Each structure stands twice: as C-alpha cells, then as structure tokens.
Amino acid sequence: MVSRTVYPALPPRVDYALTELGRSAIGVLRAIGEWAGEHADEAVAARETYGRKDQEPVRAV
C-alpha cells in the first residue's frame, strides 16, 4: 500500500508514496474518517460508560 525509496545520501533520505493499491483505498478511508467525525461524541460517551468502575456486570440470560 505504501512504497519506500531509500536514497544513499548524507543525511539519509527516504521517500514514501502510496501505491496504486493504497490510492484505491482513499475513498474507503475518507468515508471512515467522516463517519468517525460524525459519531465522535457517541464513541466518547460509549467509552466513558464502558470504563465506569460502578457499572453492573452483564449477565448471560
């Protein structure tokens, strides 16, 4: 997904670039980022609820 090119130079130089496969994932990653932004408050609230020490344990039925 990412290509890495090392150049024999001082100081050392390394370039990174997306490959065709990496570029093909941009739309999916952008959609995930938008979803995360839209649901950030809900995710934080869920994490806080989960992390409470006084939370009742879930019991199997």
Output the pLDDT for position 55: 61
Output the pLDDT for position 58: 64
pLDDT digits (tens, 9 = 90+) for 19-59: 999 999 999 999 999 999 999 999 999 888 887 756 666 67
Specify whether the CB–CB gap between 18 and 4 falls below 8 A. no
Output the pLDDT for position 8: 94
Q: Where are the alpha helices (DSSP H) in 1-61?
A: 20-24, 26-38, 40-51
**HSE, side-chain direction, 13 A CA sphere, residue 32:** 5
